[in-house]
Homo-oligomer: A and B are copies of this chain.
């Protein structure tokens, strides 16, 4: 494994126990050869899914003190930036200013912005972060919103292909984001029916999630510099079997792997692949492999550590949920060879979705 000589500045949450936020992202990046500068936006005992978390949030003043000292000490020298969970507008604004400074000093900075705001219709940050994230989008090289975060950023309800087209146009053109990756979209019928046969899942669509990667400028204009005159992005997609149950930190791991494998100046070997789609293929395959291992470990635990979700029973006995959560922490340590690419039996190649934009 050739080790790169690059440095990622990672700004996200820290938990003592388990693998979300920085704990899900930093170790994979390090394994893949990146020096990682680690800024903790919170220091909590565990992720919120356990019901109780202890610890504290890092204030905007504390973040600024860290950033200013790093600048003074000439230690703000990342080649890549990764930002994730930042729970308040003030702290996020501090990160925005930092991102501006870093990008100004290094215009070809690769910035993966994961606009962590919520999931499945529920916000888990203060609503005042939304406009700050919108302001930050033009700084990003890649964004990795989930379905709900795309809706929140664009104010478009995604319920048909037109709305998906419009949301992507807003992100690419209005917010000038070159690369948008939506990693796990439920395959509702309008979406499943629009898929080309090369991407359509072999079985029941509801057993799969779709991953979409959208690169703007489109592939034909990568070199001609006239991207803004091209109306549409290049879309790649792939289906991944849904692993039932709730796992935390999956998005954080995926984003870290995506950033690690993104090499904008290299031409991928695979036909029709772009630097983005090639990186997503790697990130998707490795994340899925770690999840499969995690599920196998969870399934081998004593029964009381893997009782199924049941809101009523969970409420009567909070330890029921806590133990389930604990058993489902990502198997990053035991799965570290997978992250290094050893034992990945099946690379889930992102496929070109040529007719995505229709005749428009």
Question: CB-CB < 8 A to A33: which residues of B?
Answer: 333-334
A222 contacts the other chain (CB 8 A)? no
Other contacts beyond A43-B58, A54-B65: 18, CB < 8 A: A3-B334, A3-B336, A5-B334, A14-B40, A16-B38, A16-B39, A16-B75, A18-B75, A27-B30, A30-B332, A30-B333, A35-B333, A40-B40, A45-B65, A45-B75, A46-B75, A52-B72, A73-B326
A322 to B53 Cα, complex, angstroms: 38
Question: CB-CB < 8 A to A326: which residues of B?
Answer: 73-75
Are B46's CB and A17's CB within 8 A? Answer: no
Are B38's CB and A23's CB within 8 A? Answer: yes
Interface residues of A (CB under 8 A from B): 3, 5, 14, 16-18, 23, 27, 30-31, 33-35, 37-40, 43-46, 50-56, 58, 62, 65-70, 72-75, 319, 322-323, 326, 332-334, 336
The smallest C-beta distance from A331 to any residue of chain B, in angstroms, reads 9
A330 to B326 Cα, complex, angstroms: 33
Residue of B nearest to A59 (CB): B56
- Of the candidates A18, A54, A62, the one having the most CB atoms from chain B within 10 angstroms of its own CB is A54
Residue of B nearest to A11 (CB): B16
A3 to B338 Cα, complex, angstroms: 13
A326 to B75 Cα, complex, angstroms: 8
The smallest C-beta distance from A252 to any residue of chain B, in angstroms, reads 15
How many protomers of this protein does the assembly include?
Answer: 2
**Known A17-B37, A38-B16, A66-B45: A3·B333 in contact at CB below 8 Å:** yes
Interface of A, helix, strand, loop or mixed by DSSP: mixed
A58 to B40 Cα, complex, angstroms: 12
Are A70's CB and B3's CB within 8 A? Answer: no
Question: CB-CB < 8 A to A17: which residues of B?
Answer: 37, 70, 73, 75
Question: CB-CB < 8 A to A44: which residues of B?
Answer: 66
Are B55's CB and A69's CB within 8 A? Answer: yes
**Known A38-B23, A75-B326: A70·B58 in contact at CB below 8 Å:** no
Are B69's CB and A62's CB within 8 A? Answer: no
Residue of B nearest to A325 (CB): B73
Question: CB-CB < 8 A to A37: which residues of B?
Answer: 16-17
Are B45's CB and A73's CB within 8 A? Answer: yes
Residue of B nearest to A5 (CB): B334
Question: CB-CB < 8 A to A75: which residues of B?
Answer: 16-18, 45-46, 50, 326
Are B74's CB and A46's CB within 8 A? Answer: no
Question: CB-CB < 8 A to A43: which residues of B?
Answer: 40, 43, 58, 62, 66
Are A73's CB and B58's CB within 8 A? Answer: no
The smallest C-beta distance from A18 to any residue of chain B, in angstroms, reads 8
Residue of B nearest to A36 (CB): B333
A16 to B322 Cα, complex, angstroms: 30
Are A46's CB and B30's CB within 8 A? Answer: no
Are B68's CB and A62's CB within 8 A? Answer: no
Question: CB-CB < 8 A to A52: which residues of B?
Answer: 69, 72-73
A72 to B45 Cα, complex, angstroms: 11
Are B73's CB and A62's CB within 8 A? Answer: no
Are B66's CB and A55's CB within 8 A? Answer: yes
A323 to B65 Cα, complex, angstroms: 20
Residue of B nearest to A9 (CB): B16
A322 to B34 Cα, complex, angstroms: 22
Are B336's CB and A30's CB within 8 A? Answer: yes
The smallest C-beta distance from A358 to any residue of chain B, in angstroms, reads 46
